[in-house]
Amino acid sequence: MVRRWYIKRWYIIVILILLVSNGATLGFLMQKLSSTAKLPEIEKKWEAFTLNGQSRHWQVEDFKIIRTASSIFRGNGSLKYIGSLDEVEATDYFGYAFFEQPDGGKPKPVLSHAETSSGGSMDISNALRHLGSIQGAITDWELAETREDLSQSYMEVSWKDAEGMIREEHIPMSVTEAYSSME
């Protein structure tokens, strides 16, 4: 009889220890999930930038860069051909790439896209109303980029003109809007 009492007591102690440890673990996890990660050094929860640019034949509007402490999003702007549409109406190739220059160093391509057509031409004026986008984990150099660094960004556009020649243009970008939140 006494032995059964010790076994029951032992079970109760083990169950209580498991409940307390699970409760403590759950409390720590809830605290970690409820606290928001912030961008290092600047103590902001997120930052968003709008970039615009123009070259001789092309105009980029409302290109977005949104970053948090754990991810970065780029894209969703529009690219418009501002030259004579006769020059591009019979094209069968078009491509673009967006570059950032961390610390003014070597440019890094962070978003690119290309389209080709076989057996006919494509309508660039309709295909470019909306640029693609990309989102992923943020790297150390992306976290360290400043508004000034982002103003060194550029887009390269290449296309085949009406004469069948591959043309390329460099579109310098500038930050036209910047937003952030501390909360």
Q: Where are the domains of the chain?
A: 1-35, 46-181
CA-CA-CA-CA torsion for 18, 24, 137, 63, nearest 10 degrees? Answer: 140
> Which of the 8 DSSP states describes residue 138?
P
- pLDDT, residue 23, reads 63
Let me know if domain 46-181 sits in CATH 2.60.40.
yes
- pLDDT, residue 29, reads 53
Amino acid letter for position 10: W
pTM: 0.74
- pLDDT averages per 10-residue partition of the chain, 183 residues: 66 73 61 52 81 94 93 92 78 90 86 85 69 90 89 92 86 93 73
- pLDDT, residue 103, reads 76
